[in-house]
Chains A and B, each alone.
Chain A
Amino acid sequence: MNPSRDNTPYEDPRQLRAALRDLRDEDLIVLVQQGQKRAYDEIVARYKGRLFSFIMRMVKDPALAEELTQETLIRVYIHAAKYREIARFSTWVFTIATNLVRNKMRQRSRRPMMISLNPAPEDDEMPMDPADTRADTSEGIQREELGRLIAEATAKIPERYRVPFLLREVEQLSYEEIQQVTGLKLGTVRSRINRARTRFRALIKPMLKNETLLAELEEIEARAAAEDNGPATDE
């Protein structure tokens, strides 16, 4: 991800990447402000998954979630100069993402759903896209199914509770950071997270009685732990 000429003092990209990896987010964005494009690559690597996960759980539409994640990261780059270290970088990024999501959801609620009278394009008419090379393994399907159930449960939590809930449970932002992202009072943040947890628990309660599902959860966790402990692969 290097939109223009790099001005790094490092000659070896690996050396540079390793150096950037050790930096805090706040230091990276300062480098971006100074024109260090590789620092932006590192920010993208750190945040793309987190942002996509958060936005996907908010909008429940993979294409839209991808678009909004990209939009957030583009805004981070374009408005990097506006960042001041009065707040944590993650707070700033998630504020951008939350605002984008809210605007999009507001637009969607205003605009009635349109149904196209044109027939759906045939398979061979579908626009070409580089293939998604993720392996379609049984693990993928298992995880996908579980993910679908959890996404459905999450989507049923009202939006005003869902934002602080996801920022806390998924992104592990502190209450103060959530307060900054949402603009709510600290007490309101706490009570909304509490209510969302109670609601989420009620929604997943039937799932928790399902032994197979719990076994799947344990399998997924074991696999993830094995991957984390496995040999590290250098890019």
Chain B
Amino acid sequence: MRCSKARDYLSRDLDGLLPPAATTGLLEHLDACTECQSFREDLLTGRRLLAATEPQLPDNFDWKLQLRLNQALQQRAGETAYPWLEDEPASRRVQWWPAFGAAASVGLAAVLAVAVFMGPQRDPAAVTAGLAQAPVVTVAAATERVAAVTTSPAASLAGRSDRRSLFGAPRGGGLYDQGIGRSVSTGAISPSGAGIDRGWSGERLADLQTIQRLRERNDQLLRMVYQYEMQVRTLKARLDTTGTPGLDTGDSH
């Protein structure tokens, strides 16, 4: 038997797991090999050393355990009051809820602030009076108003006194007179917010639809501009090749 095999057997023999047939072979090897004898003695001494040097518990272990156990039970009792929190381990519990909640609250507050400060400013007395004397709108009058709105954007804004530009300055003088108008779709600044009807209806869905519509229109216009530019370049190239002076497109350098 080789020493490596004998040492493997020795380890198993130490645990009482060596079959009797193998034990005979091992004993024969041990009689002849002093190295393996020494190995066996060292293993036994190692075991004795481990047993003799067993780490001792601190004396205050019990009361510390009692303390921690009470804390754990209290905590657990608290958790049981919210069984939905126990469905998944704490580590996997959704951590972004508080942040999301805070962000949503801030966002909502901002929208409300905009709606309050930039929304319709009506005299309560006038509103009450208005309600008492409901206007009678004839078809002809309505048509006239529609025509006025469609012909002039400025008239559009002027004609809708109950709406204000979302980012533009309020008309009629006021705190925001010097404000600037910014296009919702492109972010381009216009002097007074006039040009496109960006009235704030106060209804979330309607406003989102308006924004979407404006974006689509903007994209459409940008595509048209791009197509015209390409046509102009093609024509200029043709003119260059034919030797005739090109059109003055205003972009000659």
Contacts and interface: CB of A to CB of B under 8 A. Distances in A.
Interface of A: 1, 3-4, 44, 48-49, 52-53, 56-57, 62, 65-66, 69-71, 73-74, 77-78, 129-134, 143, 146-147, 150-151, 154, 168-170, 175, 190, 193-194, 197-198, 200-201, 204-205, 207-208, 214, 217, 220-221, 224
Q: Is the interface of B mostly helix, strand, loop or mixed?
A: helix
Nearest to B8: A194
Given A197-B11, A208-B45, A220-B52, A132 B68 contact: no
B53 A150 contact: yes
B65 A143 contact: no
A62 B64 CA distance: 14
B58 to A, nearest CB: 5
A1 B42 contact: no
Given A143-B52, A201-B39, A204-B45, 4 more contacts: A3-B66, A49-B57, A73-B69, A150-B49
Contact of A1 (B15, B58, B62): B62
Contact of B73 (A3, A69, A204, A224): A3
Contacts of A224: 52
Interface of B: 7-8, 11-12, 14-15, 17, 39, 42-43, 45-66, 68-70, 72-73, 76
Contacts of A221: 48, 52
B6 to A, nearest CB: 12
Contacts, number: 118
B46 A200 contact: yes
A146 B73 contact: no
A74 B72 contact: yes
Contacts of A73: 65, 69
A52 B57 contact: yes
B49 A53 contact: no
B34 to A, nearest CB: 15
B56 A134 contact: yes
A1 B65 contact: yes
A62 B61 CA distance: 12
Contact of B55 (A62, A198, A204, A220): A62
A134 B72 CA distance: 28
B60 A169 contact: no
Contacts of A207: 49
